[in-house]
Amino acid sequence: MKATPSSFTSNALDIDAAAVTGALEHAIREIVFARLHRKGAVVGLSGGVDSSVTAAICARALGKDHVFGVMMPESDSSDDSLGLARLLADVVGIKTTVENIAPSLEALGCYQRRDEAIRKVIPEYGKGWKSKIVLPSLVENSQYALFSVVAQSPSGEMKRARLTAEAYLGVVAATNFKQRVRKTMEYYHADRLWYAVAGTPNRLEYAQGFFVKNGDGSADFKPIAHLYKKQVYQLGRYLGVPDEILRRPPTTDTYSLEQSQEEFYFALPLEKMDLCLYGKNNGFAPEAVAAAVGLSGEKVQRVYSMIDSKLHSTHYLHLPPQLVEPVEEVTATH
Amino acid sequence: MQQIEQEVRQFVIENFIFDNNHRNFSNDDSFFDTGLLDSMGVLTLVDFVNEKYGIPIEDDELLPENWDSVNRIATFVRARFSPAIDSQDNSAQNCIV
């Protein structure tokens, strides 16, 4: 049943976790075994809640012996990530492997290319420095959200500079190697095991284009892509995902300085973003959502506009390869 | 059409409009409302204005009223040039018509 604008509360996203789990188990079995004709699922484990819930629900649906976890640290990964991923695998009871992707990234020039891009705005940036790229807070500012790089020198001095278009694209293009190498490794294991690759985006990430095309955006199925972030947490608690993982602030784990998803992409705390996306998707006026989100109606309207803008600008990420003419013999068999 | 408007419009056409159907936009059309530009487009425009007119852009100037149409950008550029004009800076004056 669709809620009415007058009934919007911060509980709007609450789910019946047992019922959702049952539906997901059924759907995953149907997708992996019947549609994809694969024996199981490979899940890239980051130590975050999304990959943890994906692995846990796949293990319930397919059997823990039919789920394989791959942990893929690199030079900028947080020290916590590997330990939390191992903890999840132990709790769920799935087999795993650790693939250090740093040598592959080094060989591709990932770190060197990123550093060269950063030097376009911070010339002294180099060996021993750490960095992240950030957006201004949407709540505190009415300006356009343009990326800046924040860098820390080996002596601890912090610098911040707004990125030019060339520098921004250079940093993103270089760091996207990380997600693409990880996906390559996931498909290696999927191919050798005759498994499908499970993608781990939640609804915020999927709808707002927070993924790398042919990187973490690539998968054979995405079992939690329709679930809001709060719902993923609810599911995590129901499925027994360890508290250490549920308490961990969502992170991109892509840059050498600690970086939240909020400062990198959403420019708004995820719980507020969650409610705004739900409100917008379900036809609530900004004023109806404002109190539950703790923002003014005007600011919720700005978030709605930003959601539309991202839907538009990231549409390309969702598109499959475009054909000049349909190839009937392929579409006819699906 | 004045020079700044022409230069900005030409830059937008060359960098963001890849088909002939969308070239007839008005200089008052909102880039965002019409879907002509996204935040990546604004970033590119900021770089263009910075390089073309030698204007460093501060974060608090990254507002829709300065950047969301050809005419708004032209008005913003002229306003930033005003002190130079007032002080009889001919080189700056020559850039804006």
Give A141-162 pLDDT, tens digit per residue: 667 778 899 999 999 999 999 9
CB-CB under 8 Å, A162 with B63? no
* Residue A311: closest C-alpha in chain B: B38
Q: Where are the domains of chain A?
A: 13-113+174-253, 114-168, 268-318
CB-CB under 8 Å, B67 with A309? no
- pLDDT, average across residues A279-301: 94
pLDDT confidence band for A264 (50 / 70 / 90): low
* Residue A314: closest C-alpha in chain B: B38
Q: Beta A95-98 vs A130-134: how paired, if at all?
A: unpaired
The pLDDT of residue B22 is above 80: no
Task: Give tens-digit pLDDT for A89-135.
Answer: 999 999 999 999 999 999 999 999 999 999 999 999 999 999 998 88
For residues A19 and B63, the model is more confident at A19
H helix or E strand, kind and range, residue A325: none
Task: Give chain A positions within 8 Å (CB) of B52.
Answer: none
CB-CB under 8 Å, A166 with B47? yes
Contact A211, A233 (CB under 8 A): no
Q: What is the pLDDT of residue A145?
A: 77
Task: Give chain A positions within 8 Å (CB) of B43.
Answer: 146-147, 163-165, 168
The pLDDT of residue B61 is above 70: yes
Contact B61, B76 (CB under 8 A): yes
For domain A13-113+174-253, the CATH superfamily is HUPs (3.40.50.620)
Strands (DSSP E) found in A141-228: 148-152, 158-162, 196-198
Tell me the three state secondary structure of residue B93. helix
Integer Cα distance of A74 and A106 in angstroms: 10
The pLDDT of residue A255 is above 90: no
- pLDDT, average across residues A279-307: 92
Q: What is the pLDDT of residue A261?
A: 63
Contact A234, A244 (CB under 8 A): no
Contact A261, A311 (CB under 8 A): no
Quick one: angle between helices A49-62 and A17-29, nearest 10? 60
DSSP symbols for A63-82: -GGGEEEEE---TT--HHHH
Q: Beta A158-162 vs A67-71: how paired, if at all?
A: unpaired
Nearest of A62, A25, A30, A58 to residue A44 by alpha carbon: A58
The pLDDT of residue B5 is above 80: yes
CB-CB under 8 Å, A142 with B42? no
Q: Where are the domains of chain B?
A: 3-16+29-95
Q: Beta A196-198 vs A41-45: how paired, if at all?
A: parallel
CB-CB under 8 Å, B42 with A144? yes
Q: What is the pLDDT of residue B36?
A: 81
**pTM here?**
0.89
Q: What is the pLDDT of residue B89?
A: 41
Integer Cα distance of A177 and A215 in angstroms: 8
For residues B35 and A242, the model is more confident at A242
Task: Give chain B positions within 8 Å (CB) of A312.
Answer: 35, 38
Integer Cα distance of A227 and A202 in angstroms: 6
pLDDT confidence band for B1 (50 / 70 / 90): low
* The CATH number, out of the four listed (1.10.1200.10, 3.40.50.2020, 2.60.40.420, 3.30.565.10), of the domain defined by the range B3-16+29-95: 1.10.1200.10
Q: What is the mean pLDDT of chain A?
A: 92
Q: Which of B32, B60, B62 has the CB atom closest to A309's CB atom?
A: B32
For the record, the structure tokens of B71 come out as: 């005419």
CB-CB under 8 Å, A166 with B59? no
Report the percentage of chain B scoring pLDDT > 70.
81
Give the residue from B39, B50, B60, B67 with the most A CB atoms within 10 Å of its CB, the best one to mutate.
Answer: B39
Q: What is the pLDDT of residue A10?
A: 87
Sheet holding A130-134, edge to edge: A130-134, A148-152, A158-162
Measured in degrees and rounded to the nearest 5, phi and psi for residue A199 equal -85, 155
The pLDDT of residue A229 is above 50: yes
Tell me the three state secondary structure of residue B33. coil
Q: What is the pLDDT of residue B96?
A: 36
The pLDDT of residue B93 is above 70: no
If you ran DSSP here, which 8-state letter would residue A134 be given?
E
Angstroms from A269 CA to nearest CA on chain B: 20
* Residue B37: closest C-alpha in chain A: A313
The pLDDT of residue A3 is above 70: no
* Residue A265: closest C-alpha in chain B: B39
Per CB distance under 8 Å, which residues of B are interface residues toward A?
A: 32, 35, 38-40, 42-44, 46-47, 59-64, 67
For the record, the structure tokens of A179 come out as: 């997600």
pLDDT confidence band for B95 (50 / 70 / 90): very low
pLDDT confidence band for B91 (50 / 70 / 90): very low
